[in-house]
Amino acid sequence: MVNEKLAILGGPKAIKTEFKKYNSIGTEELEAAKKVIEDGSLSKFVGCWEPEFYGGNKVQEFERLCEKTFNVKYAISVNSWTSGLIAAVGAIGIQPGDEIIVTPWTMCATATAILHWNAIPVFADIESETFNIDPESVRKNISPYTKAIMAVDIFGHSCDIDSLMEIAEEFNLKIIGDTAQAPGTFNKNRVTGSIAHVGGYSLNRHKHIQTGEGGICVTNDKQISENLQLIRNHAEAVVGDKGHSDLTNMVGYNFRMGEIEAAIGIEQIKKMNKFVQSRIDTAEKLTNQLSGIPGLKLPIVKPKCTHSYYMYPMIIDTEIIKVPRKKIQDALEAEGMQGLDPGYINVHRLPMYQEKIAYGSSGFPWNSEICKREISYKKGICPVAEELHDKSYLGFNNCDYDITDNEINSIGFAYKKVFSQLELL
């Protein structure tokens, strides 16, 4: 298709510019933060049983806005989504040794939230189309000890929430949703993240909308929302005064969001759809440029779903292309391509799981009596995720950059150049 000499072999670079960093923060956020600072109350939370137990004005305004935006009864802000995940696992009443089925294709915080309550992560494989947890593999991993499924809407595409809810009903499990990468997306007209028993969104600086650090838990269950609020705010210090009698998982934390972050969050939520649309626009233009390249699989969107393209996921079809991924990546980067991510993450292959050491150094919780059966994290338990990780996945960090139309054209040219001369690599 394109015969220009490859940059990696000394030819000219296809992409000559440095991609501009994505930045969702503007003057509205500056003004909002300034007002809070002028007001002088950077947080109004108290850890005792007073009206401010639920936080300051901005925190509460932000939460009510999130409830509308994500179409849920309760939104509970937290100081990171990692905190939110920990609170969510605690809030559904998990007991030590309970098993939670989780996807390996996610950020490690999803799985470590399980370990924080001395529960046991069990990894199910993923679908190669959307990279989300595969309901069939979930079924195979259910044991008498399974209590919940942790489903991530990875890269911006909803997981198969209907199949997972069916499984949850059949086996009396709870679903925890991690929608960190898919705010503002839909699955059959339902807001992604609003269907799980408890779920939420990240507001860290890498995400579509951000408050620097921050997160939002969402649920339609009153009891879960109350548990989240307690765990967020030193639960055990307040349960007595509040008249709360159930002490399950009431080891409290300080997961509270500050007023500055909440004020910024309000402005970010207002702009969310615009930012998500900007990611979609870039992705669609990339698809235009890259479609038709033999051996390069582009992202799909399932019927009646939308995608927020936190990542623009691509797969090298190893049936057609025999050149190792690393060589293709090197050639693309020599052409000036930026933001490539080979392999994403296989959480089960992190050292903690391979060595089975989480707390202390003697193998807790796996070697203790709370762990009721042998759990394997060995290579081979998630063949689809492992093959993508080891060989074929090569994504673009679409939420890291604001690329121009000219750059998108140059990316198209770079890919065509490299993929039509693979035999030279």
Ligand X SMILES: *Cc1c(COP(=O)(O)O)cnc(C)c1O
Site string for ligand X, 200-219 (x = CB under 6 A): --x-x----------x----
- 397 interacts with ligand X by CB under 6 A: no
Compute the distance between CA of residue 327 and CA of residue 298 in angstroms, rounded to an integer.
19
Which stretch, 27-35, 176-184, 188-196, 373-381, contacts ligand X (CB under 6 A)? 176-184
Site string for ligand X, 92-131 (x = CB under 6 A): --------------xx-xx---------------------
DSSP state of 51: G
**Residue 238 main-chain phi, psi, to 5 deg:** -125, -15
Query: What is the number of other CB atoms lying within 10 angstroms of the CB of residue 409?
Result: 15
Nearer to ligand X, 109 or 167 (CB): 109
Compute the distance between CA of residue 384 and CA of residue 298 in angstroms, rounded to an integer.
17
Handedness of CA 325, 328, 331, 333 (dihedral sign): negative
State both tokens at 79. Answer: 């100081």
DSSP 98-153: -EEEE-SSS-HHHHHHHHTTT-EEEE--B-TTT-SB-HHHHHHT--TTEEEEEEE-
- 318 interacts with ligand X by CB under 6 A: no
Footprint of ligand X on 54-93 (CB under 6 A): 80-82
Kindly state the smallest distance separating residue 143's Cβ from ligand X, in Å. Answer: 25
Site string for ligand X, 215-254 (x = CB under 6 A): x---------------------------------------
**In degrees, to the nearest 5, what angle opens at C-alpha 57 toward C-alphas 52 and 58?**
125
Residue 184: Cβ-neighbour burial (10 angstroms; 0-12, 13-18, 19+): buried
How many chain residues touch ligand X (CB under 6 A)? 14
Of the CA atoms within 13 Å of residue 334, those in its CB half-sphere come to 17
Site string for ligand X, 144-163 (x = CB under 6 A): --------x-----------
Site string for ligand X, 287-306 (x = CB under 6 A): --------------------
Nearer to ligand X, 87 or 280 (CB): 87
- 180 interacts with ligand X by CB under 6 A: yes
Kindly state the smallest distance separating residue 184's Cβ from ligand X, in Å. Answer: 15
Per CB under 6 A, residues contacting ligand X are 80-82, 106-107, 109-110, 152, 178, 180-181, 202, 204, 215
